[in-house]
């Protein structure tokens, strides 16, 4: 089944060109099913690129998914036109009374700043508080994961001695996790960050469990035991060339940037990067939509505030 997005969104035609099934709202209205309602808070600088990456992954299930894009009202984007934001994005104030099956909070290039110094910190805290009664399951990515762990559980982040940059092998720690169904024992994930969260801090919080980790890049996926929050420190949504673009951009700026780990064949930046994480990225997002959202969210989303937030399930 398709994802439902505006045909005017630039990603619409790009997805069609990739033979991904998308439909507009008029056609979706004639489907005799209730689509999953997914909200995406996109705070990445290259919003059009992130839109396409996430929509590509959200489309890879038999479920119909109605995607809404959200922006921070208190932040002025430097890399995305205001006309694009006005046409395709909404704000928290505009959706405050609505309910969603799932939400994704992306990363953001603010990780080296204290959380409280980020210009939209108060607004994103308000959103995360709102999500507990208006969203069934929330997936937090990279800085979004660090922000969520800090806001909800007081887990701090720490500056790394150098950027965690490349493709790192990971292992599963919880074999029966809903999010990890079908995962191999070892799988690759891209990372691009200057800060980290630490195992010792997470293990002090009884509501949290570490699902996956890497000996090289540390904690990867953390779950709330109630199954309604996932915190992911990597970027499984990245395309083949995303890290290459970051590397060449920083090198052209004269920044002290190392070659991405385990990325270019033979460590030759002129060779095409290996795309070794796509299968597990698709599997993780489809597992989230199916097992963590569709199979458990109420048919009537208005019942969400009545759900017990403190119940525990098989994560």
DSSP 132: H
The distance from CA 302 to its chain's CA centroid, rounded to whole angstroms, is: 24
The two three-digit tokens of residue 211, written as one number:
């699902």
Known catalytic residues are: 142, 235, 237
Distance CA 235, CA 144 (A): 11
Contacts of 24 (CB under 8 A, 6+ apart): 4, 5, 6, 7
Determine the length of the chain. 315
DSSP 167-188: EEEEEES-TT-STTTT--SEEE
Contact present, 162 and 257 (Cβ < 8 Å): no
In this prediction the pTM is 0.90
For residue 52, the surrounding DSSP H or E stretch is helix 47-58
Distance CA 34, CA 297 (A): 12
Low-confidence ranges of the chain (pLDDT < 50): 1, 28-32
Distance CA 263, CA 274 (A): 6
Q: What is the pLDDT of residues 116-168, one digit of tens each?
A: 999 999 999 999 999 999 999 999 999 999 999 999 999 999 999 999 999 99
Residue 11: per-residue pLDDT: 76
Distance CA 205, CA 41 (A): 26
Residue 40: per-residue pLDDT: 98
Distance CA 96, CA 58 (A): 23
Sort residue 180 into left (φ over 0), alpha (ψ -120 to 50) or beta.
alpha
Q: Which of 4, 313, 1 is nearest to 179 (CA)?
A: 313
Question: φ, ψ for residue 59 (rounded to 5)?
Answer: -85, -5
**Helical ranges in 65-181 per DSSP H:** 82-88, 92-95, 121-134, 143-153
Contacts of 65 (CB under 8 A, 6+ apart): 1, 2, 3, 4, 35, 36, 38, 58, 59, 289
Contact present, 152 and 202 (Cβ < 8 Å): no
Residue 71: per-residue pLDDT: 96
Residue 1: per-residue pLDDT: 46
């Amino acid at each position: 089944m398709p994802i439902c997005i505006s045909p005017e969104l630039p990603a619409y035609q790009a997805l069609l060109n990739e033979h991904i099934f998308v439909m507009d709202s008029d056609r979706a209205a004639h489907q005799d099913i209730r689509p999953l309602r997914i909200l995406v808070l996109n705070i990445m600088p290259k919003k059009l690129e992130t839109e396409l990456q996430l929509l590509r992954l959200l489309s890879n299930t038999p479920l119909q998914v109605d995607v809404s894009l959200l922006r921070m009202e208190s932040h002025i984007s430097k890399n995305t036109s205001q006309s694009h934001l006005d046409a395709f994005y909404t704000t928290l104030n505009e959706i405050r009374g609505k309910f969603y099956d799932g939400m994704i909070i992306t990363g953001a290039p603010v990780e080296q700043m204290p959380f409280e110094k980020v210009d939209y910190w108060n607004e994103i805290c308000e959103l995360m508080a709102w999500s507990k009664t208006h969203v069934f399951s929330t997936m937090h990515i990279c800085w979004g994961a660090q922000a969520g762990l800090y806001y909800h559980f007081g887990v701090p982040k720490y500056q790394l001695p150098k950027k965690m940059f490349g493709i790192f092998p990971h292992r599963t720690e919880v074999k029966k996790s809903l999010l990890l169904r079908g995962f191999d024992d070892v799988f690759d994930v891209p990372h691009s960050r200057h800060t980290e969260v630490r195992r010792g801090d997470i293990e002090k919080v009884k509501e949290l469990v570490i699902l996956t980790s890497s000996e090289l890049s540390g904690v990867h996926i953390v779950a709330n035991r109630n199954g309604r929050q996932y915190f992911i420190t990597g970027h499984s949504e990245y395309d083949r060339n995303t890290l290459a673009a970051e590397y060449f951009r920083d090198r052209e700026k004269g920044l002290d940037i190392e070659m991405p780990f385990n990325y270019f064949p033979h460590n030759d930046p002129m060779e095409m990067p290996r795309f070794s994480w796509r299968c597990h990225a698709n599997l993780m997002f489809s597992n989230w939509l199916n097992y963590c959202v569709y199979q458990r969210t109420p048919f009537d989303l208005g019942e969400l505030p009545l759900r017990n937030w403190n119940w525990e399930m098989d994560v």
